[in-house]
Amino acid sequence: MMTGNKLAAGLLALGLALGATGAFAQAAAPQYMNGGIGEGEQDAIKAAAKDYNLHLLFAQNNGEYISDVKLEISDAHGATLLTLPSAGPMTNVRLPPAKYKVAATYKGQTKEQQVTVSEGKTSNLSWRWDGAGK
Q: What pTM did the predictor assign?
A: 0.77
Q: What is the pLDDT of residue 29?
A: 86
- For residue 11, what is the enclosing H or E element? helix 4-21
pLDDT(103) > 80:
yes
Where do the domains of the chain lie, and which CATH numbers do they carry? 29-129 (2.60.40.1120)
How confident is the model over 96-105, as a mean pLDDT?
Answer: 98
pLDDT 10s digits, 38-67: 999 999 999 999 999 999 999 999 999 999
Give pairs for 118-122: CB < 8 Å, separation 24+.
121/53, 122/49, 122/52, 122/53, 122/54, 122/55
Identify whether the C-beta of residue 65 lies closer than 8 Å to the C-beta of residue 71: no
- For the cut 80, the answer to whether the pLDDT of residue 96 exceeds it is yes
